[in-house]
Structure 1
């Protein structure tokens, strides 16, 4: 089977990838089509994650692509964006799982861990032996995490004592470790810890009744005098600036995920428009349907161009917070428009999962909110434009 660029890649951005990168994407595409696409609606409806596929994704090398200790070959941030496209165009929950495992959990260790911590944890996480989660958001602290974090860490000899709670933590019902961010009582600085989920005093409870990213197992986490050895404190995570180094990269990843969700909805709409017959002809031959498809493709193309450039800047080492923030704010806003236009094409059929589009429509709401709301990301960009912070 040869590699064919996606029809939604209207300007051929994928042509910039190497043959090795295209070969990887082809293997991933075949796996997703054979193993995940057939079961995804059933799992979404039941709000269950197909944990049996974790090893399969790991065997492909999807986790750990970015890190020196685990990457199967030299690759770029642009390529990793296209991996997110392949995952997300099939299902946003699967893409989010990889985003948490590879970007947030492994990314925290890669960016802030010691050489020993990287060597110990990253290979086991890349192989799927160890599943990670990322504990930053709290019940009373989301957008203001830089200042409003309430979870505390207290040094006690060779250990740290953690107390507090976290909310909306993806993968957390089945993770083996969670990266917990907490304020040190001694200096009021945010620090990061690798917390095995089997530790006494640690508990995770699944958040029920979600109607977006239903397959993602988000949890409320409680930390009640959790004892963590100093060896599991991330060596270079000593202030929120270190947390921000992780988020800078993953925020751009979410931008790619937003484009992927748009593409998933668009592909479903194009297929339906070619099959559904009304007034004696396929609805794809009606002007109004073509208008919706053309507007959707325009949003996808503009968003892809932005993602390509922000990832190129990451590869060049010149990406700043405001670059990731603009990418996330813009692509998720355009995603919201796109999935609505695509759902509209289906009429009544668009509200049942049989036709896929409602899944993308609903999942878009979570991507729109996580990794910084649109408003917070626009304020980051606004600060860069004006030189003045307007957060409060």
Structure 2
């Protein structure tokens, strides 16, 4: 898939990429070239198989991008701006949303849980190896019976016995869990009824990880169901700065914007495919790009992309300024993922019957969009977060 013309992506109609510094753009272009050369040729095969191409982990390790957002860990450079990390998430997703999700879980949810939730000793113990991708992380919050209501309904428990915690319960839809070296597990303390965070190694006794099969979206992401039966975790592996669900919400606030950037990437990838196809597909003696109804779908897609990109650029600015609120990230996630759903459907429509064949890639984008639309908070839940902020009234059940 090639979606660039000259020095710019064809979908970047307002040249948002020019907002990056020269050094930031070098990083973005490096990622773009790597993704096109080494990731794009693999994804259709692995999507069909429902497996993650683990040989790519070593190549991502060589790029050294896992710790861009964490100053002091990884390469000796200042922490990347949220604009750069967002643009990178977009770039990953325009090639494959599953690869973007793998990186988002490891570098976002898992690493940020340690960075934000751990004390200095824990950060120094785990983050260097996570930054180099010698340790791959997963994040276990969602449960079989609790998704949107996990804040109040979490059933996984943590019980303290001296210097040890005992974890019991189950988690579901945990990305990376089948091959992660460490899993950040959120559990409710039976003594104070507050949520705590624990780092559990992959070989912990009593932790059973089973891959979820037969998915129709993000098939390359190896989601798993985790069962915890009397898993013993030392106090030294409890993340010391996670003491309530408010702390977990801080982690989600930081990563929810990244999911919106992923949704933008899916839109960009689908638009690029549809535009290229429309230019070469002949019907009635000429390319279908010359028909009014096809141009209408392409222009509406580009409008969704451009509007979403502008919203996310401003969100990144709020994050970099330290003034972002939950409702800012929630609105972006709700709005951009809804626009993504439209764009992938219009893209598949332009392909006609060819759009349901995996070899043409658009089918993969169309299917993967459904998962991104739902995870990190459904549209409805994010709408309620924004609704409470603008009305002062809570409509949560």
Contact 2:119 2:241 in 1 (8 A): yes
How far the C-alpha of 1:70 sits from its partner, in A, is: 2.2
Which segments of 5 or more consecutive residues in structure 1 lack a partner in the other structure?
none
Which segments of 5 or more consecutive residues in structure 2 lack a partner in the other structure?
none
How far the C-alpha of 1:249 sits from its partner, in A, is: 1.1
How far the C-alpha of 1:144 sits from its partner, in A, is: 0.7
How far the C-alpha of 1:2 sits from its partner, in A, is: 11
How far the C-alpha of 1:62 sits from its partner, in A, is: 2.2
Match of 2:56 in 1: 53
Distance 2:336 2:118 in 1: 31
Contact 2:212 2:225 in 1 (8 A): yes
How far the C-alpha of 1:64 sits from its partner, in A, is: 1.3
- The farther-off stretch of 59-68 and 257-266 is 59-68
Equivalent position SS for 1:269: helix
How far the C-alpha of 1:211 sits from its partner, in A, is: 0.3
Contact 1:69 1:119 in 2 (8 A): no
Equivalent position SS for 1:38: helix
The 1:388–1:71 alpha-carbon spacing in structure 2 relative to 1, beyond 3 Å, is: farther
Pick from 292, 303, 310: which aligns with 1:305?
310
RMSD of aligned residue pairs (Cα, Å): 1.2
How far the C-alpha of 1:71 sits from its partner, in A, is: 4.9
Written as runs of structure 1 = structure 2, the 5 A alignment for 1:103-118 is: 103-118=108-123
Match of 1:368 in 2: 373
Say if 2:259 is the partner of 1:254: yes
Written as runs of structure 1 = structure 2, the 5 A alignment for 1:147-186 is: 147-186=152-191
Contact 2:74 2:128 in 1 (8 A): no
Displaced runs of 4+ in structure 1, greater than 6 A?
none
Match of 1:125 in 2: 130
Written as runs of structure 1 = structure 2, the 5 A alignment for 1:249-328 is: 249-328=254-333
The 1:225–1:325 alpha-carbon spacing in structure 2 relative to 1, beyond 3 Å, is: same
Match of 1:334 in 2: 339
Contact 1:124 1:130 in 2 (8 A): yes
The 1:358–1:154 alpha-carbon spacing in structure 2 relative to 1, beyond 3 Å, is: same
Contact 1:8 1:267 in 2 (8 A): yes
Match of 1:242 in 2: 247
Counting matched residue pairs gives 392
How far the C-alpha of 1:4 sits from its partner, in A, is: 2.0
Distance 2:287 2:60 in 1: 38
Equivalent position SS for 2:233: strand
How far the C-alpha of 1:120 sits from its partner, in A, is: 1.2
Distance 1:263 1:326 in 2: 20
Distance 2:355 2:6 in 1: 30
How far the C-alpha of 1:40 sits from its partner, in A, is: 0.6
- Residues 182-203 of structure 1, C-alpha deviations (whole Å, 9 max, x = no match): 0001100000000101000001
Say if 2:47 is the partner of 1:35: no
Pick from 64, 67, 71: which aligns with 2:67?
64
Written as runs of structure 1 = structure 2, the 5 A alignment for 1:63-102 is: 63-72=66-75, 73-74=77-78, 75-102=80-107
Contact 1:3 1:22 in 2 (8 A): no
Distance 2:137 2:276 in 1: 36
Pick from 143, 151, 158: which aligns with 2:148?
143
Distance 1:391 1:372 in 2: 13
Distance 2:6 2:222 in 1: 33
Distance 2:392 2:74 in 1: 38
Contact 1:78 1:311 in 2 (8 A): yes
Distance 1:118 1:264 in 2: 36
- Residues 295-328 of structure 1, C-alpha deviations (whole Å, 9 max, x = no match): 0000001100111111110000000000000000
Distance 2:301 2:46 in 1: 27
The 1:169–1:330 alpha-carbon spacing in structure 2 relative to 1, beyond 3 Å, is: same
How far the C-alpha of 1:286 sits from its partner, in A, is: 1.0
Distance 1:28 1:56 in 2: 11
Distance 1:69 1:239 in 2: 27
Distance 1:68 1:162 in 2: 32
Distance 1:388 1:71 in 2: 44
Distance 1:26 1:299 in 2: 24
Distance 1:117 1:281 in 2: 63
